[in-house]
Amino acid sequence: MPKTITKEYEVYDLEDLKKDDDLCDRIYQKFWIDSPDNINGWADENLYSFKTFASTLIMDFDCSLSNAEYPDRGCYVKLIPDYRLDNKDYKEMLKDYKGNGYCFCDDLKTFTLKLLDKKEYKVLCEWATNDFVLEIQNKMFQLWFTDNKYYFSKQSFLEMVECNEYEFLENGRLA
């Protein structure tokens, strides 16, 4: 005849994590940092923002970005502009630009409009266009990894625990 065995587990919630730094650090590390399935939930939207922005500026977009806090050697963002476009063309394209509604779209629009107001980008010859595009690529790169760095922070972890009402076992697994 089969037997039923009942085992008790101690379960920890947000309040327990706030009271015990060592417990919080252990669970944060095991559940949030060490989990290979934990990726920034906004990664797809962020990438879509980049593609939408590049498309609006009639630039080809290519990238290889990791889902880590910091870039590795294989990470890059590449934009290829239409060299026939000038400062006024880009400003006109961005005039009513709303993007796809994610924060990166507004960040990129504001950054690019400020670039276009700089003296060195008033006239976009080939070398100035290359520098202009490089600055946008670098901004995209910076936005991506700043967002990932925040996502993997302990603050972000605790916010997720709170909004999802997570409870954990001592081994870092969800209860």
pLDDT in tens, 109-136: 999 999 999 999 999 999 999 999 999 9
> Model-level pTM greater than 0.85?
yes
Number of residues that this document lists for the chain: 175
Interval 47-73: pLDDT, tens:
999 999 999 999 999 999 999 888 999
Please state, in angstroms and rounded to a whole number, the distance separating the CA atoms of residues 134 and 77. Answer: 9
The β-bridge partners of 174 are: 168
CA distance 101 to 45: 9
Q: At what angle do helices 126-151 and 43-56 cross, to 10 degrees?
A: 160
pLDDT band at residue 168, thresholds of 50, 70 and 90? very high
Burial class (CB within 10 angstroms; exposed 0-12, middle 13-18, buried 19+) of 77: buried
- The phi, psi pair for 55, rounded to 5°, reads -60, -40
Cβ partners under 8 Å of residue 113, min gap 6: 91, 94
**pLDDT at 1 (0 to 100):** 83
